[in-house]
């Protein structure tokens, strides 16, 4: 979900990613949002995520050990570096209900297609 600083939702979406880990899905969701925002030197980006692992990796507090996450991490960092300013912040899962709802919507839509 992409919001303005005033809290107005400008875009939201969901997609079924197939079989992947939760961590890969977190990075994929971030990359899709960053692709849409297309940050440049004039853009300030604030990332809020309930994925403590991803947040700590993007802040440089944890190393990325998983070979499956490394290319996703590199792409995310490149996007964030292009932004004029970026902040990555962890939020408790309870404060991220909208993102959970979108993820569940994608899974439910896929399940309907398969049945």
Dist. CA 55–CA 80, nearest whole Å: 12
Dist. CA 40–CA 54, nearest whole Å: 22
* Model pLDDT for residues 68-112, shown as the tens digit of each residue: 999 999 999 998 988 878 899 998 877 665 655 555 565 555 555
**What residues have CB less than 8 Å from 22, skipping those under 6 apart?**
51
Orientation angle between helical segments 70-82 and 22-37, nearest 10 degrees: 30
Please identify, in words, the CATH class of the domain defined by 2-114: alpha beta
* Model pLDDT for residues 41-78, shown as the tens digit of each residue: 677 888 889 899 999 999 999 999 999 999 999 999 99
- pTM of the complete model: 0.78
Domain residue extents for the chain: 2-114
């Amino acid at each position: 979900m992409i919001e303005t600083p005033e809290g107005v939702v400008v875009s939201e979406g969901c997609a079924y990613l197939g079989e992947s880990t939760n961590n890969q899905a977190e990075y994929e969701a971030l990359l899709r949002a960053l692709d849409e925002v297309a940050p440049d030197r004039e853009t300030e980006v604030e990332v809020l995520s309930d994925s403590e692992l991803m947040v700590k990796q993007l802040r440089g507090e944890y190393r990325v050990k998983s070979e499956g996450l490394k290319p996703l991490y590199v792409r995310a960092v490149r996007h964030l570096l292009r932004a004029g300013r970026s902040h990555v912040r962890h939020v408790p899962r309870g404060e991220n209900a909208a993102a959970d709802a979108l993820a569940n919507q994608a899974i439910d839509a896929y399940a309907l297609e398969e049945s």
